[in-house]
Amino acid sequence: MASFITFSLFNLYLALIFAALVTANATFSEHFAKTKLTPTARKMTRLHFYFHDITSGKSPTAMAIIRPKTAFGTTVMIDDPLTVDTKPGSKVVGKAQGFYALASQHDLALLMAINFAFTYGKYNGSTLSVMGRNPVLDEVREMPVVGGSGVFRFARGYALASTVRYSLKTGDAVVQYNVTVMHA
């Protein structure tokens, strides 16, 4: 009789666990399977700033971390200032942090993977993420903005880059960015 009661209690225990798992899984899948309509109101922001890529001097902001025998594959890590003007001492509004690499064997095209981390005004603490191809010899290059944080949560858009100044001697560059993003 004792074994029958033990067997019955064990079966009841298994049935309760199974029911709890089925209920939990149903709740989980029902919760994540629902699609909710959200307001379509999105903000559009346009930004204009300058990216200072400094490879020379005592405090470079761009450093080659991979240097293969050919230029192809050269990878540069950056922590470049973003400013309101082309002058090196102008007001800093953020940093461009990430890397770029020479990703083409046939032309001068970079793979850019960069976060624009803003440190000034209402965008302080917010970021925009850019990842795309940058054919640096083109007058204007377009790269996608693939995300953002803070004020720029759910950001999608594009960045237009154009070189303002480049030194063959030092490798230093100033690049103008015009960025248009849609965000929450």
In a domain, 52, yes or no: yes
Amino acid identity, position 134 = N
Helix, strand, coil % in the chain, rounded to nearest 5: 20, 45, 35
| Confidence band of 9 (pLDDT split at 50, 70, 90) | low
Relative to beta strand 141-149, strand 156-166 is antiparallel
Structural domains of the chain, count: 1
For residue 171, the enclosing domain spans 28-183
Tokens 């953002």 belong to which residue? 148
In a domain, 23, yes or no: no
In a domain, 55, yes or no: yes
Verdict on whether the full-model pTM lies above 0.75: yes
The CB density around residue 122, as the number of other CB atoms within 10 Å, is 10
In a domain, 6, yes or no: no
In a domain, 87, yes or no: yes
| Confidence band of 119 (pLDDT split at 50, 70, 90) | very high
User: Could you tell me the two tokens for 75?
Assistant: 């990878």
Q: How far apart are CA 127 and CA 10, in angstroms?
A: 55
What is the average pLDDT value for the chain, to the nearest integer? 87
CATH code (residue 107): 2.40.480.10
